[in-house]
Chains A and B, each alone.
Chain A
Amino acid sequence: MNNSTTVTISAAAAAAGAAIKRRKKLNQYQSLIPGLPDDIAQICLSHVQPSTLYSVCHSWRRLVYSSSFPCFLSVYSLLKPSQSEKNSVDFANFDPVSAKWTLLPPPPLNPPLRILLRHPSFISRHLPIQSVSVSGNFVLLAATTDPLLPALSNPLVFNPRTGKWSNGPQLATPRRWCAAGASHGVVYVASGVGSHYNPEVARSVEKWDMNRNNRNHIWEKMNCLKDGKFSREAIEAVGWRGKLCMVNVKGDAAKEGIIYDVESDTWQEMPEGMLMGWKGPAAAMEEEIIYTVDESKGALRKYDHRRDCWLDILENEMLKGARHMAAAGGRVCVVSGGGEGIVVVDVVAELPRLVVVETPVGFQVLDVHILPRISQLDSE
Chain B
Amino acid sequence: MITLQSSDKDVFEIEQSILIQSGTIKNMVEDDFTFIPLPSVDTETLIKIIEYMKKHADKTDSKEKNIKEFDKDFMKKTLNELFALVFAANYLHISSLLELLYPSIADRIKDKITEAIRQIFSIRCDFTPEEERRIIMDNKWAHEGTEIEGTLD
Contacts and interface: CB of A to CB of B under 8 A. Distances in A.
Contacts of B110: 47-49, 52
A209 B34 CA distance: 58
Contact of A43 (B87, B102, B150, B153): B102
A52 B108 CA distance: 12
Contacts of A132: none
Interface string B126-153: 1100000001001111111111111111
A58 B123 contact: no
Contact of B139 (A40, A43, A99): A99
B90 A57 contact: no
Contacts of A97: 139, 141
A355 B118 contact: no
Interface residues of A, number: 44
Interface in A344-371: 344, 346, 353-361, 363
Contacts of B148: 99, 355-358
Q: Which of B144, B147, B150 gathers the greatest number of chain A CB atoms within 10 Å?
A: B150
A377 B153 CA distance: 18
Contact of B106 (A47, A101, A359, A361): A47
Nearest to A359: B150
Nearest to A344: B141
Contacts of A98: 138
A30 interface: yes
Nearest to A41: B105
B126 A58 contact: yes
Nearest to B118: A56
B33 interface: no
A56 B151 CA distance: 23
Contact of B105 (A44, A57, A103): A44
B62 interface: no
Given A99-B138, A355-B145, A94 B150 contact: yes
Interface in B45-89: 80, 83, 86-87
Interface stretch (A31-39, A249-257, A280-288): A31-39
Contacts of B121: 33-35
A47 B152 contact: no
A211 interface: no
A107 interface: no
A225 to B, nearest CB: 41
A353 B141 CA distance: 11
Nearest to A39: B90
Given A43-B102, A357-B150, A51 B139 contact: yes
A354 B135 contact: no
Contacts of B109: 44-45, 48, 52
A37 B88 CA distance: 12
9 contacts: A44-B103, A45-B106, A47-B110, A52-B117, A101-B152, A102-B153, A346-B142, A355-B143, A355-B146
- Closest A-B pairs by Cβ, 8 of them: A47-B106, A99-B138, A360-B152, A353-B144, A96-B141, A44-B105, A55-B135, A358-B150
Interface of A: 30, 33-37, 40, 43-49, 51-52, 54-58, 60, 92, 94, 96-103, 344, 346, 353-361, 363
Given A36-B86, A99-B141, A355-B146, 17 more contacts: A30-B126, A33-B123, A35-B121, A36-B83, A36-B87, A43-B102, A44-B103, A48-B106, A49-B142, A56-B117, A57-B124, A100-B153, A346-B142, A354-B144, A355-B140, A357-B148, A361-B151
Interface of B: 80, 83, 86-87, 90, 102-103, 105-106, 109-110, 112, 114, 117-118, 121-127, 135, 138-153
